[in-house]
Amino acid sequence: MGRVNAEVEAALSETFREEWGRIVATLIRTTHDWDLAEECAQEAFARALETWPRDGVPRRPGAWLTTTARNRAVDHLRRRTTLANKLEEVARMMQPNEPDDENEVGVEDDRLRLFFTCCHPALPLEAQVALTLRTLAGLRTAEIARAFLVAEPTMAKRLVRAKGKIRHAAIPYRVPPAHELPERTGAVLAVLYLLFNEGYVATSGENLVREGLTTEAIRLSRTLAGLMPDEPEVLGLLALMLLHDARRLARVDDGGDLVPLEDQDRNRWDRDAIAEGVRLLDVALGRKRPGPYQLQAAIAACHATATNAAATDWAQIAALYSLLARTAPSPVVELNRAVAVAMADGPAAGLELVTVLEASGELSGYHLLSATRADLLRRLERSAEASVSYREALELASTDAERRFLERRLAETMGSVCPA
């Protein structure tokens, strides 16, 4: 009995990942009620947990769950007031397939509507993130709270407010019309990229939900790529995530310290993820509509496909950063370009760019600026100046792993300051 339950739970867990977002998305469209949609989806999965061990996993688990959830919704709506409009809703819900509204963009998947609505610019960014995780990824409120290091009631309130705003301000539940699509797609991608980064910087094993955000981000991006296969930036973002995530096991050593890219054991890189990332990037670039995510993915691909650090095509990377600086300029891009230039043309060339950046004041207080300057000075054997910069970076560093790394570098550098 225990083994059967374990199999059922595994099947249910897998189906949950696949189906939660789809079920919630459709129920939101048919009931216009986000809370009811979540509740009914929840009840359907609870039902499955009760009955599948007894009756076996259905041949089409998704369909079973969708039908069960819809029936629960019909029940709930019936039990509410018997105003004419509620009966209309019930009647409408009983029809299995609805024609799309005329102003939809021809894509029928309700999940696409849900993506765009969760990530509507009228909602605060943190609400967009929370709503996406709750409705599309099926994370529980407590899990989302933990991932973002806030108390559960705070996160619950955030979700309540967001759903309230959607209702009260009448944010439409739809895929935006064609002329709005580029900007609105950008908003969705920004949320997914934020999720990925939040998970990516959490490497210490202390907060597994937080680290799991990379997996959720990749899963959500995959879903979005399936729904928008012709959008090169959507493919580009997925490629970027896969290429970064491929290095996950090599990024941190057994002591929990960061391993710089050039020192990583490339045998620990996930070759399959790299292959998929490169393939997706090729498809994206083939559409001839380059954009920032494709460019960043191309940079990641340069690293991922180099057999060892020395084989890295830094000139190519520097060129890609120049392109990126034109399409999506930012001081961090400039800093990364400086690092690439230093590798391609020598630390003095990189230091020139870093100096210009510092003069602009845009990155003051950013520890990686000081750390980069320190590294370049160290490579130029200007050890005293390098030490000063490492100390500056230490003051500004935000994680223990970063601090340990900088302290080691500082010690190495100081070692070369003292005369023999």
Partner 1 sequence: MRYMLLICYDESFSPPETIGAETEAWVEEMDRRGVRKAGDRLRPASDATTVRVREDRAMLTDGPFAETKEQIAGFDLIECADLDEAIEVASRHPMAKVGMIEVRPFWEE
Minimum Å gap between C-beta 166 and partner 1 is 9
Residue with Cβ nearer partner 1 (171 or 274): 171
Backbone angles phi, psi at 252, to 5 degrees: -125, 135
Nearer to partner 1, 117 or 387 (CB): 117
**Terminal-to-terminal C-alpha distance of the chain:** 73
Q: Which two tokens stand for residue 250?
A: 């090599």
Distance in Å, CB of 175 to partner 1, minimum: 11
User: Are the CB atoms for 354 and 338 separated by under 8 Å?
Assistant: yes
- CB nearer to partner 1: give 169 or 208: 169
Closest CB 187 distance from partner 1, rounded Å: 13
What is d(CA 88, CA 136) in angstroms, rounded to the nearest whole number? 27
Q: Which of residues 241-260 bind partner 1 (CB under 8 A)?
A: none
Q: Which of residues 204-223 bind partner 1 (CB under 8 A)?
A: none
Distance CA 416, CA 420 (A): 8
* 411 sits near partner 1 (criterion: CB under 8 A): no
CA proximity to 240, closest of 204, 203, 184, 190: 190
Alpha-carbon span 151 to 300, nearest angstrom: 35
**And the tokens for 269?**
């890189």
Shortest spacing between CB 319 and partner 1, in angstroms: 37
Strand partners, 258: 252
Nearer CB in complex with partner 1: 170/310 = 170
- Burial label for 41, CB within 10 Å (0-12, 13-18, 19+), is buried
Q: CB of residue 177 vs partner 1: minimum separation in angstroms?
A: 9
Among 122, 125, 208, 384, binds partner 1 (CB under 8 A): 122
Distance of closest approach, residue 29 Cβ to partner 1, in angstroms? 14
| Distance in angstroms (rounded) separating the CA atoms of residues 137 and 20 | 7
Considering only CA atoms, give the Rg of the chain. 25
Letters for 81-120 (x = contact with partner 1 by CB under 8 A, - = none) are ----------------------------------------
137-196 binders of partner 1 (CB under 8 A): 168-172, 176, 180
- Residues in contact with partner 1 by the rule CB under 8 A: 122, 168-172, 176, 180
